[in-house]
Amino acid sequence: MRARRPAAAVGLAAALTLASVSIGLAASLGLSSAHLTTVTKSYSAPVTCTLSATADSYVNKLVATTNFGTSTVLQVNPTTLATQRTFVRFDLTTCSPAIPSDALVQSATVRLTVATLTTGTRTYELRSVTGSWTETGVTWNNQPTAASSVTASTNVSLGTAAGTVVQWTATSDVESFVTGAGTNLGWRLGDSAEGGAVGATLQLNSREAATGQPQLVVTYVA
């Protein structure tokens, strides 16, 4: 009988020891009422969609109230008196499958096809548009404002053949449009050095052209 009493005492002592260890661990971690929240987002394989322009036009300072929305070409020119700028817009909601608002845009490229380049090598800047416009209503006088920062710049060299595709990277803008941080009002293409007496006129195919219409190629993961 006496031999079994110590056994019971040992069991009790062991239980108390376990309790002490538990309390000690909790105290040492400092987590008696802590939150630890873990969220993981794993992206699927990339999806690419190619969009056609839903609106495009250009404006010309020399004919400041004329609209060119139905023209088969888009033009850019830097000269002071006849400055020309191009506007183009794509509807991201027509991407299939639809781009979710929490998608991560891996790349987005605005692709325009050269119709003719009259002379010289110029740098052309793409900027996101910050005001509303319509294809058949935009003119030099009512053209929308554009972002102060340049989305992308691309050089087009003298002798660039008609049919050559020129592209501008617009990943940042498209991600912004997708997430809702920015509003998709399209882009403006202009010469990087507007002003002066002479300058090249870059002609690009518009969406009304038979071939080489403007495209926006978007690759994203979600």
Partner 1 sequence: MALLRLRRPFAIGVTASLVCLQIAVAASLPTTASKLGGGTAAVSSCDADGFTFHHTIDSTGTITAVTVTSIAAACAGGTLRLTLANGTTSVGSGTTSLPSSGFSGSATVTVSPTPSSSSVTAVYAVVEGP
Where on the chain is the footprint of partner 1 (CB under 8 A)?
1, 4-5, 8-9, 11-12, 14-16, 18-19, 22, 25-26, 29, 31-43, 46, 101-102, 104-107, 149-152, 169, 171-172, 175-176, 179-181, 219, 221
Of residues 142 and 172, the one with the C-beta less far from partner 1: 172
Of residues 44 and 211, the one with the C-beta less far from partner 1: 44
Of residues 8 and 197, the one with the C-beta less far from partner 1: 8
Amino acid in position 57 = S
**Dihedral in degrees, nearest 10, Cα atoms 46, 52, 55, 59:** 100
- Closest distance between partner 1 and the C-beta of residue 220, in Å? 9
Say if CB 207 and CB 213 are below 8 A apart. yes
Q: What is the DSSP string of 45-113?
A: S-EEEEEEEEEEEEEEGGGTT---TT-SEEEEB--STT-EEEEEEE-GGG-SSPPPTT-EEEEEEEEEE
Q: Count CB atoms within 10 A of the CB of residue 215.
A: 19
- Closest distance between partner 1 and the C-beta of residue 66, in Å? 33
- Closest distance between partner 1 and the C-beta of residue 83, in Å? 24
- Closest distance between partner 1 and the C-beta of residue 189, in Å? 16
Of residues 128 and 201, the one with the C-beta less far from partner 1: 128
